[in-house]
Amino acid sequence: MDILLAQTLIQGLLIGGAYALIAIGMCLTYNVSGIVNFAHGDFLTLGMFIAFGLQAAAALDPYVSVAITLPLLAMLGALTYQYLLRPVARSHALVIIQLTLGLSFVLQNGLLMIFGGQPVRTPSALEASILVLGDLFIRTPQLIAFCTSLALTLVLFLVLGYTETGRRIRAVHQNPQAAALMGIDVPRVRTLTFAAGIGILAVSGALLLPGTTIWPAQGLRFTVITLMALILGGMTDFAGVYIGALVIGIAEAVGTVYVAGTTGMILPYGIFILVLLLRPNGLFGRAA
């Protein structure tokens, strides 16, 4: 195979793996609470900026500060669900879209007021580290991101499939009323899964930070990537969403390498629309 192509595909796969973890968090909350959170990418950005702040203030490496950002974001997620989303959970789907769009504005512009609009970079121990495999180069942070993301997704999959907690979460997904009749505290399960979905973003943030610049308005882009992966994967299927994210990552890498300028970045969106036209139920969806 052509070296450039191989390099591009690997790059895309690694990026896609990092995206997958972001999308899995949303997939979890969509499954359990039916909520599509348009502020998802902004929570991710918030996590990244907290890590940036901790690096600037206390010289904590993002890989270390995740121990602080994870519980922080999870708590914020729990509060958001409990006080903002749960009161409107039974309303028209529009209301949740409006609310989370508002939340996106609050987070994005709150960050803008605190950190300013200039892109910033968070130093990290491994940011410049590169692995050489024959003719191929792999940036170590991206490899770490891919592996961690894959490992966490597998853990999540096992927890959902084979533990008491996972069984309860699936019960709430399949039939919330029957779950309540089994003695499951449904609102608590929903709050906790939302907290988990947001908490995971702290990990994603730490994995994405080394070697990249961040700015407050970037959240929407991550939200869109997440939503595309979610739709490609058929909304509820973890494996499908994971692969959907890989497709987006690879398309992005191919577009950036082979098409000049920002136009190449359109490729993932083009593939998304094409898939939507050809397979409206996602890549692996069966006709409903």
Partner 1 sequence: MTPAFLGTLRTPWLWLAAIVVASFPWWLSSYHLGIAILALLYVSLALAWNIVGGMGGQISLAHSVFIGMGAVVATALNLRLGLNLWVGLVVCASGAAILGVFLALLDSRFRLAHLSFALITLAFAEIGELVVTGSDFLGGASGLYYPKAAGGLMQFDFGGSTGYLFAALLLALICLFVNAAILASPLGFYLRALRDNENAAQAIGIPILRNRAVAMAISAALSSVVGTLYARYLGFVDPTQLASPTLVIEIVLIATIGGLGTPWGPLVAAAVLVPAGELLRGKFGGVLPGLHYFLYGVLIIIVVLTSPEGLVPRFASLLQAAKRRAGGRS
Partner 2 sequence: MLRIEGLTAAYDGPPALSDVSLHVDKGEILGLLGANNSGKSTLINCISGLVRPLAGCISFEGADITRLKPHERVANGIVQVPEGRQVFPQMSVLENLLLGGTSRGARSHRSTRLDQAFALFPRLAERRPQLAGTLSGGEQQMLAIGRALMSGPRLLMLDEPSLGLSPLFVQIIFKALGELNKEGLTLLLIEQNLTLTLAYASRGVVLERGQIAIEGTREMLKGDPRTRAAYLGL
Contacting range for partner 1; rule: CB under 8 A; set: 50-58, 188-196, 237-245, 260-268 = 260-268
Residue nearer to partner 1 on the CB measure, 14 or 229: 229
Site membership for partner 1, residue 179 (CB under 8 A): no
User: Which member of 227, 229, 243, 251 binds partner 1 (CB under 8 A)?
Assistant: 227
Tell me how many degrees the CA angle 59-19-164 measures, rounded to the nearest 5: 95
9 or 101: CB nearest partner 1? 101
Q: Which is nearer to partner 1, 136 or 273 (CB)?
A: 273
Task: Please report how close the Cβ of residue 216 comes to partner 2 at its closest, in angstroms.
Answer: 40
Q: Does residue 181 belong to the site contacting partner 2 (CB under 8 A)?
A: yes
HSE-CB for 121 with a 13 A CA cutoff: 8
**Which residues, 6 or more positions from 82, have their beta carbon under 8 angstroms from its beta carbon?**
191
- The answer to whether 186 contacts partner 2 (rule: CB under 8 A) is yes
Question: From partner 1, partner 2, none, which one binds at residue 164 (CB under 5 to 8 Å depending on kind)?
Answer: partner 2
DSSP 186-232: HHHHHHHHHHHHHHHHHHHHHHH-TT-EE-GGGHHHHHHHHHHHHHH
The CB-of-5 to partner 1 minimum distance in angstroms stands at 23
**70 lies in the binding site for partner 2 (CB under 8 A):** no
| Closest distance to partner 1 from the beta carbon of 273 (Å) | 7
- Interior angle at CA 189, CA 185 and CA 35, nearest 5: 125
Considering only residues 8 through 67, tell me which ones interact with partner 1, judged by CB under 8 A: 36, 38
Secondary structure class of 139 (helix, strand, coil): strand
Cα 142 to Cα 129, 146, 160, 207: the distances in Å are 10, 6, 27, 8
Residue number, 177 or 262, with CB nearest to partner 2: 177
Pairing outcome for strands 136-139 and 130-133 = antiparallel
Q: How far apart are CA 263 and CA 244, in angstroms?
A: 21
Number of residues counted as binding partner 1 (CB under 8 A): 53
d(C-alpha 71, C-alpha 38), whole Å: 21
Binding residues for partner 2, how many (CB under 8 A)?
17
Measured between its terminal Cα atoms, the distance across the chain in Å is 39
Of 78, 71, 99, 119, nearest in space to 221 by CA:
119
Choose the contact partner of 220 out of partner 2, partner 1, none; CB within 5 to 8 A by kind: partner 1
Longest dimension (CA), the chain: 60
- For partner 2, the binding residues (CB under 8 A) are 164, 167-168, 170-171, 174-175, 177-186
- For partner 1, the binding residues (CB under 8 A) are 36, 38, 84, 87-88, 91-95, 97-99, 101-110, 112-113, 116-117, 216-217, 220-221, 223-224, 227-228, 230-231, 235, 261-266, 269-270, 272-273, 276-277, 280-281, 288
